[in-house]
Amino acid sequence: MSAEVLLTVRDLSVHTGDTPLVTGVDLTVARGATLGVVGESGSGKSLTCRSLLGILPPGLRNGDDTTITFDGTDLRALDARGWLGIRGTRIGAVFQDPASYLNPSITVGRQLAEVLRVRVGLGRRAARDRAVELLADMGLHEPARVYRQYPFELSGGMLQRVLIAVAICAEPDLLIADEATTALDVTVQAEVLDLLSDLQERTGLALILVSHDLAVVAQVCEEVVVMRDGVVVERGTAGDVLTAPAHAYTRSLVDAHARYGIERFRPAVTVHG
């Protein structure tokens, strides 16, 4: 087990004009660790993630006091060129709605192979072979056939597997999954979570898993932070946050789940109502 720090975020804030949307977020992620970020809609999860990728929406900016250090590099100081060596290579990301990240008129295999050519520097042939291999690694059956299919021919779960392949093909140190399974039905969601968990264990990449669903995060992550109204209200191990939530807001998230079967994810649960 290594406790080497990979990512340090201090006093992260996001503003639009003078209005703060996110304030005072501190995060530390060790190499190979898993961090879950939970909170209801609008709590600031995505703006926090986007800050880590240098892709805030137009008009939004990080506060001057925000520091983000990734493997020794000050991400706040990067210019567009500097980001090319980080985003998509050292830090991968997957979001909700995979279809919108793929070109509808190019086969998924060619799109993955293109990323392998550009980001990994593989030749045409090697990129194609590696793409098929990656599709198989993502648990897609008949990967050579999937390679030749267009996005509209694949289910949401299959598309998300393709996007995960794209996100990890350059062997990043950190993968950010922001509501990556939210749009999928429950069974497929569980399968994709298993895949992420499996990849994390197999490759040793660190994972930041974002969800409004505490059960999803607790299934995969050792550490959890809970956000509300742009601030972190609670943090701890997934077990502690589930069994002994300190904040009333977290308790309400846990209680809501107690009624829908979070029992599966923690040893003892008091079901209210």
85 near ligand ATP (CB under 6 A): no
115-154 b/e (C-beta count within 10 Å ≥ 16 → b)? bbbebeebeeeebbebbbebbbbbbbeebeebbebbbeeb
Q: How far is the CB of 19 from ligand ATP (least distance, A)?
A: 8
46 near Mg ion (CB under 5 A): yes
Q: Token digits for 189? A: 């969601």
Distance CA 161, CA 157 (A): 6
173 binds, among Mg ion, ligand ATP, none (CB under 5 to 8 A by kind): none
Q: Token digits for 213? A: 């669903």
Q: Enumerate residues 185-244 that contact ligand ATP by CB under 6 A.
A: 212
Q: Which is nearer to Mg ion, 59 or 104 (CB)?
A: 59
Distance CA 140, CA 245 (A): 38
Among the listed residues 16, 28, 69, 149, the single contact to ligand ATP using CB under 6 A: 16
Which of these, 214, 159, 168, 182, lies nearest to 96 by C-alpha position?
Answer: 182
Q: How far is the CB of 179 from Mg ion (least distance, A)?
A: 6
Contact 195, 138 (CB under 8 A): yes
Number of residues that bind ligand ATP (CB under 6 A): 15
Q: Strands 174-178, 206-211: parallel, antiparallel or unpaired by DSSP? A: parallel
Stretch that binds Mg ion, among 38-46, 109-117, 127-135, 235-243 (CB under 5 A): 38-46
Strand partners, 95: 178
Among the listed residues 60, 99, 188, 190, the single contact to ligand ATP using CB under 6 A: 60
Stretch that binds Mg ion, among 11-19, 43-51, 146-154, 182-190 (CB under 5 A): 43-51
Write the binding mask 20 to 59 for ligand ATP: x where contact by CB under 6 A, - elsewhere. -x-----------------x-xxxxxxx---------x-x
Q: Token digits for 251? A: 């308790």
Q: What is the DSSP string of 224-262?
A: EEEEETTEEEEEEEHHHHHHS--SHHHHHHHHHHHTTTG
15 near ligand ATP (CB under 6 A): no
Q: Enumerate residues 160-179 that contact ligand ATP by CB under 6 A.
A: 179
The residues of the shown chain that bind ligand ATP, judged by CB under 6 A, are: 16, 21, 39, 41-47, 57, 59-60, 179, 212
* Contact residues for Mg ion, defined by CB under 5 A: 46
